[in-house]
Amino acid sequence: MNYSKIIHQIEHELQDFPNNGKVASYIPELSKVDPEMFGLHLYCIDGNHHSFGDSTERFSIQSISKVFSLTLAMQLLGDDLWKRMDVEPSGNAYNSLFQLERENGIPRNPFINSGALVISDILVSEYDNPKDEILKFVRKISGKHTINFNEKVAQSEKQHGHRNAALANLMKSFGNIKNDINAILDVYFYQCSLAMSCEELASAFMLFANEGKILETNEQVILPIKVQRINALMQTCGFYDEAGEFAFRVGLPGKSGVGGGIVTVHPEKYSAAVWSPKLNQKGNSLLGMETLERLTTKTGLSIF
Amino acid sequence: MNYSKIIHQIEHELQDFPNNGKVASYIPELSKVDPEMFGLHLYCIDGNHHSFGDSTERFSIQSISKVFSLTLAMQLLGDDLWKRMDVEPSGNAYNSLFQLERENGIPRNPFINSGALVISDILVSEYDNPKDEILKFVRKISGKHTINFNEKVAQSEKQHGHRNAALANLMKSFGNIKNDINAILDVYFYQCSLAMSCEELASAFMLFANEGKILETNEQVILPIKVQRINALMQTCGFYDEAGEFAFRVGLPGKSGVGGGIVTVHPEKYSAAVWSPKLNQKGNSLLGMETLERLTTKTGLSIF
Amino acid sequence: MNYSKIIHQIEHELQDFPNNGKVASYIPELSKVDPEMFGLHLYCIDGNHHSFGDSTERFSIQSISKVFSLTLAMQLLGDDLWKRMDVEPSGNAYNSLFQLERENGIPRNPFINSGALVISDILVSEYDNPKDEILKFVRKISGKHTINFNEKVAQSEKQHGHRNAALANLMKSFGNIKNDINAILDVYFYQCSLAMSCEELASAFMLFANEGKILETNEQVILPIKVQRINALMQTCGFYDEAGEFAFRVGLPGKSGVGGGIVTVHPEKYSAAVWSPKLNQKGNSLLGMETLERLTTKTGLSIF
Amino acid sequence: MNYSKIIHQIEHELQDFPNNGKVASYIPELSKVDPEMFGLHLYCIDGNHHSFGDSTERFSIQSISKVFSLTLAMQLLGDDLWKRMDVEPSGNAYNSLFQLERENGIPRNPFINSGALVISDILVSEYDNPKDEILKFVRKISGKHTINFNEKVAQSEKQHGHRNAALANLMKSFGNIKNDINAILDVYFYQCSLAMSCEELASAFMLFANEGKILETNEQVILPIKVQRINALMQTCGFYDEAGEFAFRVGLPGKSGVGGGIVTVHPEKYSAAVWSPKLNQKGNSLLGMETLERLTTKTGLSIF
């Protein structure tokens, strides 16, 4: 498969694509991004890299970081983790309190905010310095040691984080948050502020295309059965209220963030990260989804 | 892969599996089944068949039939179909009116009852005799010409079908049902009453493992891109409120029915149907899910 | 109290009242009304009548009729009635299926559509000819023997009644509808089509201001304790999603209809009916509410 | 009317009333109360007092305090208050986040927790020392200068207040809380901890039976029109999810608290407070409701 040719063809086709998406503005820091940024990085299991556009520019990965913290929590806790959250799509806006209230403080899955807050709570319980551990882990699996949190974004999240504080307090009232709420919010907001490029994201997510091993070093970081489950979760829950649409159009597991990034994984074939800040109405990168749909259509490859 | 050995090993392991599931009783006719029935049929893309137990016994396939009617509707309508329903998991009990009301009569996906009723409405609009067409289609893709509706089950459904009538009336109030409600309910109830064996289901679903072609005849019944989409829908929406769990534990697209059947598909590898009437709390065959989880664990093969 | 002077003062004040309400259009027949009609009739317990405007013009009383059928059902059934419905405000749009589904087919109160359908079901069970009984009852308590159903409105309701059919089917699935759905819908649609004037409504509702006795004849039609309960129900549930607003602004029990009528009752003082077809966003007569608010403000009399 | 005779008759009748209610236990401090306490105080507009049982024993008035803080806020703000909350019954459990989320952080009414938190926010904005002002106000209208907060109850509320913190944070995310969340929670928890006897509550609530004037001093504390509105709010929203039931059975405006107290008002006739700690399933005093129902039945007096 000539991936290089295919992705440049897509880049060319999308040059004049009418993009009526909107940059996320719920925190001021996010709205400062250049809305026209657009890049893709494809990392093949044979070790080859292909990319176009702003693929080495770092951006706020936001909810994509939930895959990293989930992976850490799955290493630490095993199946006990699933007593504190479910693995089902929410069928609701990603930060809804409704379901959480009806279901007694048990989040639907680890990729909605409430689920990610429980993951933060676990990391706070298990680690002396959870933020350091997250950073260490991301640097290790991507092989990029300058990756860091964006302090301004983290502070901006904190100042506008009342909805997440509501979720955490609600879960604490049900006994599903063990630690101090400010401590877990701190971990959560920093994690969301991670700044990475498409190249770095594709490198990190190769772990999930390569049965849990870092491709460069062949180190087994997480068991294959756990990777399959993380991929299954990305497939059914990785796109807020649009997981079905992504499965339907793209046909690969993936995770998006309101910073405009989407990472997707074709097990045993490749990982790919795309970035375009303008979001569709469901909060996913409009051009990103279009790009990935064309990628699987042109390669004829989806997991289905 | 020695599939034969693997499935007999599973059969052996599950011999004394504690099964506290309950046979569906919402219509009297369904509750008459022998709760201890248990069978599996695996059909490989190389043409080999493997089975155990009551795999040739016919049972009420119920919601599994929704995959057949969706396939017919996708052949007839193309993308217009998706103006009348979405492709998202519901995150709610499979027959809930709540979401349907909030979302203006647009069903979440074709596999919840409301979505299947819209599909029936389409078949009533497009065909002179939709029930005949469904039967013809199922017989053709399975190659089994004695497959038929179960009259008693269909009548029993009709007598207890007020909830489906409520769904149809609600959608009609929003303009998303075009035909007479009794006509579409009739198609729906007959379709649900289809009686098939695991062997017949695996044969029919080979279509979705084989890029839309009947394996025996090589006839292209539906385009590969559409098959990918049907598989994606089965993955995200095929198990009522437990689609995530099935993806997480089994890792394959599939569809279940309250008759206790589950069919699953590994694209380009096999189709497999399992039957055990006792259902878990979410309405899926308890032993069926256990069987398929062991199948993908032992073969090490999931799409993720 | 010089009621005559007060109501003419209100009529004068409201002459140029900016009314951006909208005539109900959910059934075509209702939208044919002259939107500028405006009338009031006040009937005092001392036997005096006061009125202005189009107070003798008949209009479609719609949901106001639910008070009549409830009164009949309370005469027939006693406290058993309340096993089949509750007496609580719904806190939701008046025809919502959400609550009904969550609360197992038990309507919140007799004045939302689902509750009124259960009342219809009771009348169908108890009477050979429920429509005749309703008519007979309304004629008797109002003393106006030419009151009748509006055939065109009833037929128009029937043609657009899918939402009510959905409610009835949902309740039947829970066992809370005993009779044939078409039979109860027929009673319901005819009852809603009753055509009455403000004068006739005020006369009929004097029953609820006069401890259950017809003022003209002194006949005790319903016990005082039951009248208190009907008045309490009108207070807490008589105005769809705006019962609190009416209690807050007007401070009297009452019932409104989408035909633009509102009847209100001050126990032991008066009954009053007002009509203006343009509705506010909650479905209550905009000018009607304004009129009644001024009436209780100017008279200084509310039950609170 | 011989009130004294009537209330002692009720006391006698209820001596052996089977009470399967349960003392509130959501905060440990509340569960320490003697469950068999039972008292009533009736204060007539002619100045006479009637009582039985533990009517001078102080208890935690909890949500009854919301009437006091609402009255203060209505004095301070006028109609602007109603931009920040509605006057409708909630139709949901009293602390539900669902409706608050769907309705953009605007509470349904001032008597559900979210509404009372907005009232606290207003008092924090308007007063230098809101807790002192609440205390001063309650002492003044009741004429009992030893009334005070219960420090232990307030601290216990604080330790178990995560659900209220969730509500406050959710509203802050919608911009409907202006001050620091801990500051408003502090006011709220102290207000709920007010300890008063039936005698003191009946004295304080005479304000609402007496058109806003303190009966002893004739001082006009709040305008009659505002009193009518507070009474209307108590009628439609004063009993959590059981306001309709209270209107139906008792027929008077009132307010209950999970401490087992209920205060009710018959405008221009009397105020009455009853206390029995065992609650029914909706969170209202079981014996308290029974007592008040008998009171209005025996006196033949309800506002309806």
Tens-digit pLDDT profile for residues D86-144: 999 987 765 678 888 888 999 999 999 999 999 999 999 999 999 999 999 999 999 99
Residue type, D45: I
Closest-CA residue of D relative to C230 is D248
Q: Which residues have C-beta within 8 Å of that of residue C199, sequence separation ≥ 6? A: C41, C49, C51, C55, C56, C273
Give pLDDT tens digits for C120-159.
999 999 999 999 999 999 999 999 999 999 999 999 999 9
**Contact in structure between B58 and B17 (CB atoms under 8 Å):** no
Pick the CATH number of A3-61+197-299 from 3.40.710.10, 3.40.50.360, 3.30.1360.230, 3.40.50.880: 3.40.710.10
Verdict on whether the full-model pTM lies above 0.95 = no
The two beta strands, A59-60 and B278-279, are: unpaired
Does the domain formed by A63-192 have CATH 1.20.1630.10?
no
Residue type, C135: L
Rounding to the nearest 10 degrees, give the CA dihedral for residues A198, A200, A202, A207. Answer: -160
**CA-to-CA dists, residue A58 to A264, A265, A277, A280, C169, angstroms:** 17, 20, 12, 21, 56
pLDDT of residue A22: 96
The answer to whether the CB atoms of B232 and A302 lie below 8 A apart is yes
Q: Is the pLDDT of residue B91 over 90?
A: no
Touching subunits for chain A (3+ Cβ pairs under 8 A):
B, D
DSSP string of A231-271? HHHHHHHTTGGGHHHHHHHT-S-EEE-TTSEEEEEETTTEE
Q: What are B's interface residues with C at a Cβ cutoff of 8 A?
A: 96-98, 101-102, 160, 162-163, 165-167, 169-170, 172-173
**Catalytic, out of A43, A94, A188, A270:** A188
Residue A106, token pair as written in the block: 């048990």
Q: Which residues of A touch D169 (CB under 8 A)?
A: 162-163, 165-166, 169
Interface with C, mutate which of B98, B112, B158, B178 (most C CBs under 10 A): B98
In tens, the pLDDT along B143-201 reads 999 999 999 999 999 999 999 999 999 999 999 999 999 999 999 999 999 999 999 99
Please tell me whether D26 is known to bind a ligand.
no
The CA distance from C61 to C256, in Å, is 8
Architecture per CATH, D3-60+196-298: 3-Layer(aba) Sandwich (3.40)
pLDDT beyond 90 at C275:
yes
Cβ within 8 Å of residue D169, ≥6 positions away: A162, A163, A165, A166, A169, D181
- The residue-averaged pLDDT of C261-274 equals 98
Residues linked to residue B275 through DSSP beta bridges, in sequence order: B39, B261
Q: For B41-71, give one letter per residue: b (16+ CB within 10 A) or e.
A: bbbbbeeeebbbbbbebbbbbbbbbbbbbbb
Active site residue D66: yes
Average pLDDT over residues A56-61: 98
**What integer pLDDT is reported at residue D29 of this predicted model?**
87
Q: CATH 3.40.710.10: which residues of chain A? A: 3-61+197-299, 63-192
β-sheet bridge partners, residue C42: C50, C272
A278 pLDDT more than 60? yes
- Closest Cα to residue A169, out of D168, D117, D28, D101? D168
- As a whole number, mean pLDDT of residues C193-222 equals 97
What local confidence, expressed as pLDDT, does residue D91 receive? 77
Question: With bands split at pLDDT 50, 70 and 90, how would you rate the model's confidence at A118?
Answer: very high
C198-209 vs C65-77: helix crossing angle, rounded to 10: 30
Q: Which residue has the tokens 């959590």?
A: D240
CA C270 to chain CA centroid, nearest Å: 16
Domain with CATH 3.40.710.10 in chain D: 3-60+196-298, 63-192
What tokens does B46 get? 């190389």
* Cβ within 8 Å, pair C236-D232: no
List CB contacts of D18: < 8 A, sequence separation 6 or more.
none
What is the pLDDT confidence band of residue A280, given thresholds at 50, 70 and 90? Answer: very high
Sign of the alpha-carbon dihedral angle for C75, C112, C62, D246:
positive
Specify the pLDDT at position C95.
62
pLDDT, position D95: 62
How much is the pLDDT for B173?
Answer: 95
Confidence of residue C29 (pLDDT cuts 50, 70, 90): confident
In the predicted structure, residue B96 carries a pLDDT above the cut 70? yes
Q: Pick from B86, B90, B247: which is nearest to A232 by CB?
A: B247
β pairing state of C49-53 and C39-44:
antiparallel
Q: Which among B224, B227, B244 has CB closest to A88?
A: B244
- Ranges of CATH 3.40.710.10 domains, chain C: 3-62+196-299, 63-192
Q: Is the domain defined by C3-62+196-299 classed in CATH 3.30.70.3270?
A: no
3-state SS class at B89: coil
Q: Give the model's pLDDT for residue A95.
A: 62
Chain centre distance of CA B74: 16
Lowest-pLDDT range, A107-111, C97-101, C163-167, D77-81? C97-101
pLDDT in tens, D142-168: 999 999 999 999 999 999 999 999 999
Q: Which CATH superfamily is domain B3-62+194-299 in?
A: DD-peptidase/beta-lactamase superfamily (3.40.710.10)
Q: For residue C117, what are the CA distances in angstroms to C79, C80, C189?
A: 18, 16, 10
What is B64-192's CATH topology? Beta-lactamase (3.40.710)
Q: Beta-strand (E) ranges in chain B?
A: 22-23, 39-44, 49-53, 59-60, 148-149, 194-196, 254-256, 261-266, 270-275, 278-279
Q: Taking 60 as the threshold, does the pLDDT of residue A94 lie above it?
A: no
Q: Are A161 and A185 in contact (CB under 8 A)?
A: yes
How many Å apart are CA D185 and CA D187, to the nearest integer? 5
- Residue A159's pLDDT band, with cuts at 50, 70 and 90, is very high
Per cent of chain B over pLDDT 70 is 99
Q: Which residues of C27-64 are buried (b: 16+ CB within 10 A; e: fewer)?
A: bebbeebeeebbbbbbbbbeeeebbbbbbebbbbbbbb
Cα C190 → chain centroid: 14
**Where is the binding site, in residues of B?**
63, 113, 157, 164, 188, 240, 258
pLDDT in tens, chain D (304 residues): 899 999 999 999 999 999 999 999 888 889 999 999 999 999 999 999 999 999 999 999 999 999 999 999 999 998 899 999 999 998 776 567 888 888 899 999 999 999 999 999 999 999 999 999 999 999 999 999 999 999 999 999 999 999 999 999 999 999 999 999 999 999 999 999 999 999 999 999 999 999 999 999 999 999 999 999 999 999 999 998 899 999 999 999 999 999 999 999 999 999 999 999 999 999 999 999 999 999 999 998 899 9
Nearest to B162 among C96, C102, C173 (CB): C173
C88·D231 Cβ contact <8 A: no
